[in-house]
Amino acid sequence: MSETASPGPLVQRPQDPEELGVYVHVPFCRDRCDYCAFATYTDRDALMERYVAACVTEVTRAMQAGALWEATSVFFGGGTPSRLSAPLLAAILTAIPRTADAEVTVECNPEDASMERLCAYREAGVTRMSFGVQSTAPHVLAALGRRHDPASVPRALEAAAAAGFVLVNVDLVYGAQGETDDDWARTIDDVLSLPNPPGHVSAYALTAEPGTPIGRDRARHPDDDVQASRYELADARLSSAGYRWEEVSNWALPGQGCRHNQLYWRQGNYLGIGAAAHSHRADDAAGRRWWNLRTPERYLKAVEAGRSPVAGEERVEGDRRELERLMLSLRTPAGVPASALPDVAELDGLVVREGGRAVLTVRGRLVANAVSSMLLVGSSSSGSS
């Protein structure tokens, strides 16, 4: 089959190109964290060069099929994108057409953040670094199965600043076995007191995913009440430092929000490249999702044989699409139309209603899924979220 093989479901380039995000999945890791349920592998490094070539081929085919136009954001996630050499990562990025102001993010382990690597990223067009910090307490990192030294964190952010990165994310995780309130508070304070503090902070509640070491060990499962208090502590600390909540688990300084994430939260267009990557195409009244083969070997076999790497697809339309749009918007400060939630006592203290919108309070964010279950799909005002 020729290089013009379809990348998946037939899509047409819009006459007036819309915002488009590109997600590139890098499935390689040095070590697998004990909470990780993603499509990542510690024993596939020998596939790296073939994998990069396959991603470039997938990008090329998507462009030829009209499924990829100038991206407004590109996000390298994983896995550990910094497991690839900078030239290999740059080879994929170079192949992706981008707008002049496109945001390009690369997830990176703190210990990988050498000046040489970061400068190479900048030269290739990367604009934002995202560092997986999780915690600054050594015993908490050990409980999560993380291997990096907390001392690598300030070095990484210092190197990012020296390399010219203005936009920096830090990811944190709370709720690990043996973590105390003081450990969590110290982690946040350590990050905020850095000479070059990040403009964006993600703080995720640890989840006991099935099939992971933490998921299999009930003694390591997080406590809901403890996680609630940790979330409130994080929000208070970050808010007092000038960060604004962007989404339930994300805070940013003014002007430092992550453009690619915002595209997801608005149910926008994004194209996934690589093994296990997911894509979404928005239309006026419906949408389509599709996803690639999960393992690198199967992905490579398909692309190298000239076949589509797509494993499955679905249409999302009608009430289901409206519900998803409302659920995503509810998790952000935009909230939802007030008519999309019932005016009942159960929501007292969980949402505030102003200007025709209903927005989650801090308490409401703690039970966002429960509030989402009360959304009224098809209400007269809920179409505009």
Q: Quick one: 255 and 348 in the same domain?
A: no
- Give the integer Cα–Cα distance in Å for 184 and 192: 13
Q: 232, 264, 296 — which closes off a domain? A: 264
Asked if the structure places residue 55 within a domain, the reply is: yes
In this prediction, residues 203-223 reach a mean pLDDT of 94
pTM of the model: 0.93
The pLDDT tens digits of the residues spanning 185-199 come to 999 999 999 999 999
Q: Which range (89-93, 213-217, 296-300) has the least confidence?
A: 213-217
Which residue spans within the chain are E strands per DSSP? 20-26, 71-78, 98-108, 128-134, 167-174, 200-205, 244-247, 250-252, 269-273, 278-282, 286-292, 310-317, 336-337, 351-354, 357-360
The rounded Cα 296 to chain-centroid distance in angstroms is 20
Read off the tokens for 340.
């999309």
The rounded Cα 347 to chain-centroid distance in angstroms is 29
Q: Quick one: 81 and 180 in the same domain?
A: yes
Q: Quick one: 45 and 191 in the same domain?
A: yes
Buried b vs exposed e over 297-323: b needs ≥16 C-beta within 10 Å? Answer: eebbebbeeeebbbbeeeebeeeebbb
Q: Model confidence at 37, in pLDDT bands (50, 70, 90)?
A: confident
Q: 264, 287, 318 — which closes off a domain? A: 264
Asked if the structure places residue 94 within a domain, the reply is: yes
Q: Quick one: 260 and 341 in the same domain?
A: no
Q: Given the structure tokens 């349920």, which residue do they identify? A: 37
CATH code, domain carrying 224 = 3.20.20.70
pLDDT value, residue 385 = 53
Q: Quick one: 155 and 32 in the same domain?
A: yes
What residues contact 182, with CB distance under 8 A and at least 6 apart? none
Q: Quick one: 376 and 234 in the same domain?
A: no
The pLDDT tens digits of the residues spanning 123-133 come to 999 999 999 99
pLDDT value, residue 284 = 60
What percentage of the chain carries pLDDT values higher than 70? 93
Asked if the structure places residue 324 within a domain, the reply is: no
Residues paired with 359 in a beta bridge = 352
Asked if the structure places residue 311 within a domain, the reply is: no
Range of the domain at 44: 20-264
Q: 236, 264, 292 — which closes off a domain? A: 264
Q: Kindly tell me if the per-residue pLDDT of 342 is higher than 80.
A: yes
Q: Kindly tell me if the per-residue pLDDT of 279 is higher than 70.
A: yes
Count: domains in the chain: 2
Asked if the structure places residue 326 within a domain, the reply is: no
Asked if the structure places residue 372 within a domain, the reply is: yes
Amino acid residing at 334: A
Asked if the structure places residue 248 within a domain, the reply is: yes
Q: Are 113 and 129 in contact (CB under 8 A)?
A: yes
